[in-house]
Structure 1
């Protein structure tokens, strides 16, 4: 029997959103977890808000850490494993950074020695607090922290690729020190794969940490350009999974689809279930997929102000914990017997130079060529131009054919329905 792909959800508390850490209510959390477990999912990803947990560089609040442990234990009682994001960081358009890194204490998140010491201590503390919990999967450094490092952030913490490389190595080491042998990783939004001047690179994503994480959102131009029911929209998550493999040194490195959702109005609510079904089915056709973790568990309450409109309705469950049709789709997928996808034998060449990443973005030559192949019935993967003639590498991945983007006809416009 092949190993089962993990099915889970990013946990957004139904009461108080992530501000629930300020007045943590275990009974409310338990009710949320009951509604998640009832869908047959096996894990959650949780988000401590960094400034609530470490309001001063040398103060990590014991009560907050204790609440995180209590949440993890409540999840265990319901058969749910837990991955913990540390440096929150950025969530649903809001930045949550401690005061000791901003304004009068403005210090670079990725290069300042004191900030690095504080971050490492915080990550190590969270990991150590959970190290003896059997259902603790491990740490993710933070949620899409690369958005702090470059444009379009309004106040970026600039860093070079080498500085980011050192930051990743040190923070992952801190997690390992706190909880040896667990699944520790980092996760960025898709600028890592698509933005030429991003200091967080595809190579770092595919080589640092236990596995590679990808976050798939079709509001990045994919749905706008091609439509909600197009080949590029329904296969975007699978594309990122396969794109990440070009940079991996391990030919069978696991890839975690750690965030994916159905954002309105590009995916209207009445079409969310169909989008979910297509996205999940296509991702499951990717070899070496570790898991699918949907964004998110519960809707954001309309009592909370200033969220982008799409954020309010992304939950699998309503704010009063009722499952939507998309939740039933994920529930059914989680109940299917595991299967092992066949190798993807056709590889599309992508540039190893990170300054050419925009070729892989929506509208780029690699992106368009990949989806033309998919539309023609091919199951493509990707390979770096520097490895395109490496027989041992290709053989290890089961690749028998290599094509360049200019060998593939232009992509048709696809479904343009709104």
Structure 2
């Protein structure tokens, strides 16, 4: 693991969004990468759209793979390392699944043997094509693939947690076979940590792959409940980093804040820079943070239709590559010297039972207690209820105080806090 926290951006092409793979323009890509490198960032996360790269289960398009190699090489020329997401999957409210998995060919993404063979071959091929590139960090299996496995997706591919465990093992193994020794991981949106029927579990997120990835979006009820500049909103990224540590077996497992952004209007444009500064500052106060990767590099062009309104303005830069105030905030943070954060010695107890995950979600007692402690000046982390009395585990993490949520939250009038 690198000694310093990595700073990067999720690369959203300024021309054509991710549809740029259909009309790949190396000059436009280079100009985008120049604008990213000018901010002093050190890596990008890129997204080959799965149906464009593997339109048939037996066809992984060589030209598309060569274009991906060209992008990675162009990034390397500008001092940028690259993480590649494989199974896209889902991006900015749109699903991108190949036709050989849908409608007349409908097969479960997580359990069908033929689909698994095709997915593994695809991931292996991408990893192998980049294995000799020194600036290739490794593969992320896919972007928030968990959203396909449960509601609120309108047509989910249902699977059990053991089936998801087997799927993750198969996909991560394929990445490792293609590019041995690189940083390979999987990444889910926050339903993994908050939703009781999500078959992708916190234990899988915190134990499978080289690092734990968390995606922090405050439109999940946090900003709605608490406002754009509140303690919960400004610390939400840090909360997910520390929440993930409860399930990790390695007491110092690295955690990557792989997606975080400032979604308007819940974070108004005039507050975006302050939100960025606060989010980054608080995340950097988390020990064992691998990196922060902002969503996203460039705004979505208004010439493209049907995106949710918030998606158009999430970029660090405008669609014509001009940096916004929040880009300057992130660039300053990337340049600033810093000391390693102190160990967090106070741990809040969280339930190990995945059925009780809503207690960790906005409005739940774990969530509320964490931010009550934070507002009072504490620097909490978390520990599973099954480990709350495990002296060896607590000592390995430097935890000296363990608190249950009902020890932190005020007792409601006429009853007790559960």
TM-score, normalised to structure 1's length?
0.98
Q: Secondary structure at the match of 1:147?
A: helix
Q: Residue 143 of structure 2 corresponds to which residue in structure 1?
A: 143
Alignment of 1:92-241 (within 5 A): 92-241=92-241
Q: Residue 415 of structure 1 corresponds to which residue in structure 2?
A: none
Q: Residue 352 of structure 1 corresponds to which residue in structure 2?
A: 352
The CA distance in 2 between the partners of 1:405 and 1:209, in whole Å, is: 30
Q: Residue 60 of structure 2 corresponds to which residue in structure 1?
A: 60
Q: Residue 330 of structure 1 corresponds to which residue in structure 2?
A: 330
Cα distance, 1:294–1:163 mapped onto 2, change above 3 Å: same
The CA distance in 2 between the partners of 1:176 and 1:334, in whole Å, is: 30
The CA distance in 1 between the partners of 2:23 and 2:197, in whole Å, is: 40
Q: CA deviation at 1:99?
A: 0.0
Q: Residue 415 of structure 2 corresponds to which residue in structure 1?
A: none
TM-score, normalised to structure 2's length?
0.98
Deviations 1:64-116 (A, max 9, x none): 00000000000000000000000000000000000000000000000000000
The CA distance in 2 between the partners of 1:235 and 1:32, in whole Å, is: 30
Unaligned runs of 5+ in 2: 413-418
1:403 aligns with 2:398: no
Deviations 1:126-172 (A, max 9, x none): 00000000000000000000000000000000000000000000000
1:8 aligns with 2:3: no
The CA distance in 2 between the partners of 1:130 and 1:410, in whole Å, is: 54
Q: CA deviation at 1:410?
A: 4.3
The CA distance in 1 between the partners of 2:270 and 2:411, in whole Å, is: 27
Q: CA deviation at 1:3?
A: 1.6
Cα distance, 1:70–1:282 mapped onto 2, change above 3 Å: same
Cα distance, 1:380–1:62 mapped onto 2, change above 3 Å: same
Q: CA deviation at 1:349?
A: 0.1
The CA distance in 1 between the partners of 2:255 and 2:159, in whole Å, is: 26
Structure 1 consecutive aligned stretches of length 4 or more whose deviation exceeds 3 Å: none
Alignment of 1:266-281 (within 5 A): 266-281=266-281
Paired residue total = 411
Q: CA deviation at 1:338?
A: 3.4
Q: CA deviation at 1:318?
A: 0.2
Deviations 1:385-404 (A, max 9, x none): 00001011000100000000
Tell me if structure 2 keeps the 8 A contact 1:369–1:410: no
- Which has the bigger relative contact order, CA under 8 A and spacing at least 6? 1
Unaligned runs of 5+ in 1: 413-418
Q: Secondary structure at the match of 1:228?
A: coil
Deviations 1:396-416 (A, max 9, x none): 10000000000002499xxxx
